[in-house]
Amino acid sequence: AQSVTQLDSQVPVFEEAPVELRCNYSSSVSVYLFWYVQYPNQGLQLLLKYLSGSTLVKGINGFEAEFNKSQTSFHLRKPSVHISDTAEYFCAVSLGGSNYKLTFGKGTLLTVNP
């Protein structure tokens, strides 16, 4: 079975600083990878996803992530964060094929301070 580990439960940063949220996965087969964002008391919204092709994926709100198969990682990055980026971020993996299920990490709370 696949699993997802988000290495940091909380990441505090100052506004305009760069940020990296780390995600590692374990799976014996190829996977599809997703990053979702959740603002307080709201549902989740897709930031970006990796299905195949270029390992650098660009998403909404200036975020990007890089798929590294050898390190089984899919870290999320943003070069300059804003106060409005304060939210919880979830990494998720899908096995693909006829398996529709997403396995989520436990989330990383990003807090951007002025």
Partner 1 sequence: SQTIHQWPATLVQPVGSPLSLECTVEGTSNPNLYWYRQAAGRGLQLLFYSVGIGQISSEVPQNLSASRPQDRQFILSSKKLLLSDSGFYLCAWSKGQSTDTQYFGPGTRLTVL
- When the beta carbons of 30 and 84 are compared against partner 1, the nearer one is 30
- When the beta carbons of 30 and 80 are compared against partner 1, the nearer one is 30
CA-wise closest residue to 76 among 13, 2, 1 = 13
Question: How many other C-beta atoms are found inside a 10 Å radius of the C-beta of residue 9?
Answer: 11
From the CB of 55, what's the least distance to partner 1, in Å?
16
User: Which of 51, 56, 60, 83 is close enough to bind partner 1 by CB under 8 A?
Assistant: 51
Binding flags for partner 1, 25-44, as an x/- string (CB under 8 A): -------x-x-x----xxxx
Give the dihedral sign, CA 91/97/100/101.
negative
Give the dihedral sign, CA 77/78/83/84.
negative
Site stretch for partner 1 (CB under 8 A), options 57-65, 67-75, 79-87, 97-105: 97-105
The first and second tokens of residue 97, run together, are 């094929």
Query: Using CA atoms, how far apart are residues 58 and 13, in angstroms rounded to an integer?
Result: 21
Q: Which residues bind partner 1 (CB under 8 A)?
A: 9, 32, 34, 36, 41-46, 49, 51, 90, 94-107
